[in-house]
Chains A and B, each alone.
Chain A
Amino acid sequence: MTTKTSLLKVILLGDGGVGKSSIMNRYVTNKFDAHLFHTIGVEFLNKELEVDSHQVTLQIWDTAGQERFRSLRTPFYRGSDCCLLTFSVDDSQSFLNLGNWKKEFIYYADVKEPEKFPFVVLGNKVDVTERQVSTEEAQQWCQENGNFPYYETSAKDATNVAIAFDEAVRRVLALEERTDHLIPTDTVKLHRKPRSATSCCS
């Protein structure tokens, strides 16, 4: 069983400048580059990990946040297993926009049962001293919008980044195990051969 790998597609969404790429890079390479460029187009990185004895290849997608690029960004939402809604705790506007990002994702990813879809909310840049969004506000939003798990992260000092991704994976796997129970045929897919993508990109 342990030789089988699942490929999970996770997508980072949120306003420009909240630190999506930095979170991805911190998680995958454990590095932080304060001079990182803003993302143009769409990028992704792979990361292999083991969660509760499941071998998982996480394919983490990172997009440009500006409205203008919507039409060329949204097609990549398809097939996502999990969505990390990201804001920056020092930017209240990015927090207010979370709802829009959630809506955009559900619409374009063509999620069948939005109320069951695993969202995880990240409040990034907790290392910054001047906060504009309090933990309580953020937790309240998560509770009211579908009881999403909420993590306060810092890509800069690595706070909670890996924990948040682990939680995302657990949510997806839990959801799939439930589905497996209902439709026995689906077990095939979960334990299928790893895709070639996992071998060529590291």
Chain B
Amino acid sequence: MAADSVLKVLFELEGVFIHPSSEEGGSEQDSLISGCLRIVDKDADVLVEYRPLEDSDPSNMLCAGKDSSSVMEWDQCSGEKLLETQQSYETEWDMINAVSFKRRSVTNGEGSLNPAPCLPGSLNPAPCLPGSLNHSSERSRWAFSFSLSDLRCIRVKEQGWSFLLLQLSESCRSPPALHFHQGGSRDFLDSLRRFAVISQAAGEEVCLMVSSPNRALSQSFENLLDENNFGLVNQKFRNDPYVTTLGGFSKVTNYIFDAFRGTEEQHQRPPEEVADLLGEVIPGLEINQQEEPGFEVITRMDLGVRPPVSRRDPVSSEEWSRHQDAEGRMINVPLLKQIIFKGGLCHAKRKEAWKFLLGFFPWESTVEERKVLHRDKTDEYFRMKLQWKSVSEQQERRNSKLRDCRSLIEKDVNRTDRTNRFYEGLDNPGLVLLHDILMTYCMYDFDLGYVQGMSDLLSPVLYVMESEVDAFWCFVSFMDQMHQNFEEQMQGMKTQLIQLSTLLRLLDLSFWNYLEAQDSGYLYFCFRWLLIRFKRELSFQDVLRLWEVMWTGLPCQNFHLLLCCAILDSEKQKIMEENYGFNEILKHINELSMKLEIEEILQKAEGIGLQIKSCKDLPASISSILGWDPPAPPPALRTPQRGAACSSPLSRDSSAQNGCSPAFIS
């Protein structure tokens, strides 16, 4: 069917509705037709097509599912056909709170075995969705297709949602109104703008005049393509600039990758659906995308060469003592932190140093002051410990929260670092301490309670402190940093995943695009890294090293995100060469556990930090993640300039949201 015509899908949007009852000859009084709106390039003619979906029964109005699979076909020059199921790019990653329409899955209840069976590359009129045969003839009557050159005028109307009235040239009958119940009308118009000049009719705000197609704009996109980032697929991009710019680079990168490999069925519905759902619980990934998709500001960040970084030996006891005055105050703390950052601590000093690093002891306190503090904190600890210790069995029976905490803690204590000599064997006192500190922490922060992962954070701290009270208070300080990760909505996790994605996009657009194309752009596979700060990824001794380095707060805020970038940088070649998909990426990253080289990662992460820091015109979103907010300009020099809003601390929030220039290619 499509063998002799080249067809490209340039834009696609599902959830576009026709209201038959308000249309001429409409017989389905109460039902809406849901369908898919596409802009396609067919034999060098740009067409607008609408196709009703299998099932648009409004009784399906229920869940916030974003089911947006689509199909794309790419014809090679040889005429050999390659089909590629592709998920259309969602510009709105935000959780949809409002009721939306849900399309019934095409898998016909078949689960994962169904790789989106019909690939209507040819866009044949009869939908080949299984089970839809009864309705297809009735529904296909609402399908339409017209050449963009016939489009004369678009009226944009609002009635709680946007709907468009398309008016064609005199010779053609105009199609029914298109209702964008799920949004996307602006995206549609923006896409049209790439092929036609759309201007506002004089004096009429809602009416857009359309004039002859114009391909000049796409040429300019082609010129902006970055050879470095797309080296592998560069040639193909040059041939397909439209698709490139419209479909989002990543998806195209992906299908071209697949095309080169000659693979098929790279995608399956379930990973995509999983990814869609994850996208909903990790909203906000559009953080750096420009406000107006129609007018992309394409600015490449010029990251220089990664500077070489050296590490040093751990801080010795002598070095530590040199940073202490006669009364026990720590002196020259910035330098001390610097050498801890560069080499960590010798194990003998950890017990003392960690209390300062974690903030249990103030750096400027004297030995005497610390004694007083320690006495007070010891009392406070045992007061809280007594609280749960004195709960009777009857009381606990009526306290489900406490009961659940205790049950989970008991289970997890038995499953935390049991091969470590401090926790191994039965009835090891280390296990009792781990349990008691976690129970007392529940009393300290009853709202949070116990969440899985906390035992992982406590275990190394207790191992180093060898003291219940000290370990508790150091754990409290550590939890202050990690608290958000464990909260009800896991906001800390979501924020970090978004921040990491933002960083990775700056550092390695091609890899980020690859991940995005594999439905992994929100980096869910880094979940465990972030939740418990690499505790499960490294050997126990390496965790101690990593954490003390992180607790210096150097060289920037959120250094752990640069560590993620460093690890991903080392894995990217493998992931891309093996063409890993959603599941394989997750598996590969999970299996890195205990195979990572700590000093190498620290070195690389520090290098990446220096690389970013030396970057001119650093996007505000990046500086704010790493805590390098540019100082407010001196009053005398306050001249209006592009991007000036970003440098004002007051506007940081909004600029981070809007991805104030320079924006990235998206």
Q: Are A189 and B115 in contact (CB under 8 A)?
A: yes
Q: How far is A43 from B586 in the complex, measured between Cα atoms in Å?
A: 8
Q: Are A44 and B587 in contact (CB under 8 A)?
A: yes
Q: Which of B111, B411, B456, B581 contacts A197 (CB 8 A)?
A: B581
Q: Are A71 and B112 in contact (CB under 8 A)?
A: no
Interface positions, chain A 28-63, Cβ under 8 Å from B, are 34-38, 40-44, 59
A157 within 8 A of B: no
B108 within 8 A of A: yes
Interface positions, chain B 391-450, Cβ under 8 Å from A, are 407-408, 411-412, 415-416, 418-419, 424
Q: Are A79 and B281 in contact (CB under 8 A)?
A: no
Q: Which of A69, A176, A193 contacts B113 (CB 8 A)?
A: A176
Q: Which of B113, B131, B583 contacts A6 (CB 8 A)?
A: B113
B376 within 8 A of A: no
A residues in contact with B58, CB < 8 Å: none
Q: Which of A75, A110, A113, A186 contacts B114 (CB 8 A)?
A: A186
Q: How far is A126 from B626 in the complex, measured between Cα atoms in Å?
A: 51
Say how far B87's CB is from chain A's closest CB, in angstroms: 13
Say how far A105's CB is from chain B's closest CB, in angstroms: 13
B452 within 8 A of A: yes
Interface positions, chain B 584-610, Cβ under 8 Å from A, are 584, 586-587, 590
Q: Are B110 and A40 in contact (CB under 8 A)?
A: no
A129 within 8 A of B: no
Most buried by B among A17, A43, A75, A176: A75
Q: Are A40 and B532 in contact (CB under 8 A)?
A: yes
* Known contacts A79-B111, A80-B112; A193 and B265 CB within 8 A of each other: yes
B268 within 8 A of A: yes
B531 within 8 A of A: yes
A residues in contact with B265, CB < 8 Å: 192-193, 195
Most buried by A among B263, B266, B583: B583
Interface positions, chain B 162-177, Cβ under 8 Å from A, are none
B28 within 8 A of A: no
Q: Which of B108, B456, B583 contacts A186 (CB 8 A)?
A: B108
Q: Which of B117, B408, B411, B453 contacts A185 (CB 8 A)?
A: B117
A106 within 8 A of B: no
Q: How far is A38 from B268 in the complex, measured between Cα atoms in Å?
A: 30
Q: Are B415 and A72 in contact (CB under 8 A)?
A: no
* Known contacts A17-B411, A43-B590; A75 and B111 CB within 8 A of each other: no
A196 within 8 A of B: yes
Q: Are A41 and B419 in contact (CB under 8 A)?
A: no
A74 within 8 A of B: yes
A residues in contact with B527, CB < 8 Å: 40-42, 72
Q: Are A189 and B416 in contact (CB under 8 A)?
A: no
Q: Are B578 and A66 in contact (CB under 8 A)?
A: no
Say how far B261's CB is from chain A's closest CB, in angstroms: 9
A188 within 8 A of B: yes
Q: Which residue of B lies closest to A38 (CB)?
A: B415
Q: Which residue of A lies closest to B489 (CB)?
A: A71
Q: Which of B63, B111, B278, B451 contacts A66 (CB 8 A)?
A: B451
Say how far B555's CB is from chain A's closest CB, in angstroms: 28
* Known contacts A16-B452, A79-B112, A80-B112; A37 and B416 CB within 8 A of each other: yes
Say how far A172's CB is from chain B's closest CB, in angstroms: 8
Q: How far is A161 from B282 in the complex, measured between Cα atoms in Å?
A: 36
B residues in contact with A44, CB < 8 Å: 583, 586-587
Q: Mark B103-129, 1 if CB is under 8 A from A, else 0.
A: 001001111111101000000000000
A8 within 8 A of B: yes
* Known contacts A40-B453, A79-B270, A183-B130; A72 and B524 CB within 8 A of each other: yes
Q: Are A68 and B486 in contact (CB under 8 A)?
A: yes
Q: Which of B131, B270, B587 contacts A201 (CB 8 A)?
A: B587
Say how far B441's CB is from chain A's closest CB, in angstroms: 15
A residues in contact with B109, CB < 8 Å: 112-113, 179
A190 within 8 A of B: yes
* Known contacts A72-B524, A81-B113; A38 and B536 CB within 8 A of each other: no
Most buried by B among A7, A196, A197: A196
Q: How far is A44 from B536 in the complex, measured between Cα atoms in Å?
A: 16
A155 within 8 A of B: no
Say how far B43's CB is from chain A's closest CB, in angstroms: 30
Q: Are B115 and A192 in contact (CB under 8 A)?
A: yes
Q: Are B587 and A179 in contact (CB under 8 A)?
A: no
* Known contacts A9-B111, A69-B452, A75-B274; A186 and B130 CB within 8 A of each other: yes
Q: Interface size of B by Cβ–Cβ distance < 8 Å? A: 63
B528 within 8 A of A: yes
Say how far B71's CB is from chain A's closest CB, in angstroms: 16
A141 within 8 A of B: no
Q: Which residue of B lies closest to A93 (CB)?
A: B407
* Known contacts A9-B270, A40-B536; A72 and B278 CB within 8 A of each other: yes
Q: Are A37 and B536 in contact (CB under 8 A)?
A: yes
Q: Are A35 and B277 in contact (CB under 8 A)?
A: no
Q: How far is A108 from B473 in the complex, measured between Cα atoms in Å?
A: 40
Q: Are A200 and B584 in contact (CB under 8 A)?
A: yes
Q: Which of B110, B418, B451 contacts A176 (CB 8 A)?
A: B110
Q: How far is A197 from B112 in the complex, measured between Cα atoms in Å?
A: 13
Interface positions, chain A 53-111, Cβ under 8 Å from B, are 59, 64, 66, 68-69, 71-72, 74-76, 78-81, 93, 108, 110
Q: Which residue of A lies closest to B128 (CB)?
A: A185
Interface positions, chain B 496-550, Cβ under 8 Å from A, are 524, 527-528, 531-532, 536
* Known contacts A79-B274, A196-B584; A41 and B531 CB within 8 A of each other: yes
Q: Are A64 and B264 in contact (CB under 8 A)?
A: no
Q: Which residue of B lies closest to A64 (CB)?
A: B452
Q: Are A189 and B490 in contact (CB under 8 A)?
A: no
A residues in contact with B411, CB < 8 Å: 16-17, 38
Q: How far is A68 from B416 in the complex, measured between Cα atoms in Å?
A: 19
Q: Which residue of B lies closest to A180 (CB)?
A: B110
B residues in contact with A195, CB < 8 Å: 265, 268
Q: How far is A64 from B415 in the complex, measured between Cα atoms in Å?
A: 13
B342 within 8 A of A: no
Q: Which residue of B lies closest to A35 (CB)?
A: B418
* Known contacts A78-B270, A78-B274; A38 and B412 CB within 8 A of each other: yes
Q: How far is A182 from B274 in the complex, measured between Cα atoms in Å?
A: 28
B580 within 8 A of A: yes
B residues in contact with A75, CB < 8 Å: 273-278, 281
* Known contacts A75-B278, A78-B277; A68 and B114 CB within 8 A of each other: no
A residues in contact with B453, CB < 8 Å: 40
**What would 20 more interface pairs be, CB under 8 Å, given A183-B130, A183-B131?**
A8-B113, A16-B452, A35-B424, A38-B416, A40-B452, A64-B452, A66-B451, A71-B490, A72-B527, A75-B278, A79-B268, A80-B111, A110-B63, A110-B105, A185-B117, A186-B108, A186-B110, A189-B114, A195-B265, A196-B266
Closest 10 CB pairs of A and B: A79-B270, A75-B277, A17-B411, A35-B418, A112-B109, A79-B112, A78-B273, A41-B527, A41-B528, A38-B415
Q: List the interface of chain B (C-beta within 8 A of A).
A: 63, 65, 105, 108-115, 117, 130-131, 263-266, 268-271, 273-278, 281-282, 407-408, 411-412, 415-416, 418-419, 424, 451-453, 456, 486, 488-490, 493, 524, 527-528, 531-532, 536, 578-581, 583-584, 586-587, 590
Q: Can you identify 7 A-B contacts, CB atoms within 8 angstroms? A: A9-B112, A35-B418, A38-B452, A66-B451, A69-B490, A79-B273, A197-B583
Q: List the interface of chain A (C-beta within 8 A of B).
A: 6-9, 16-17, 34-38, 40-44, 59, 64, 66, 68-69, 71-72, 74-76, 78-81, 93, 108, 110, 112-113, 176, 179, 183, 185-186, 188-190, 192-193, 195-197, 200-201
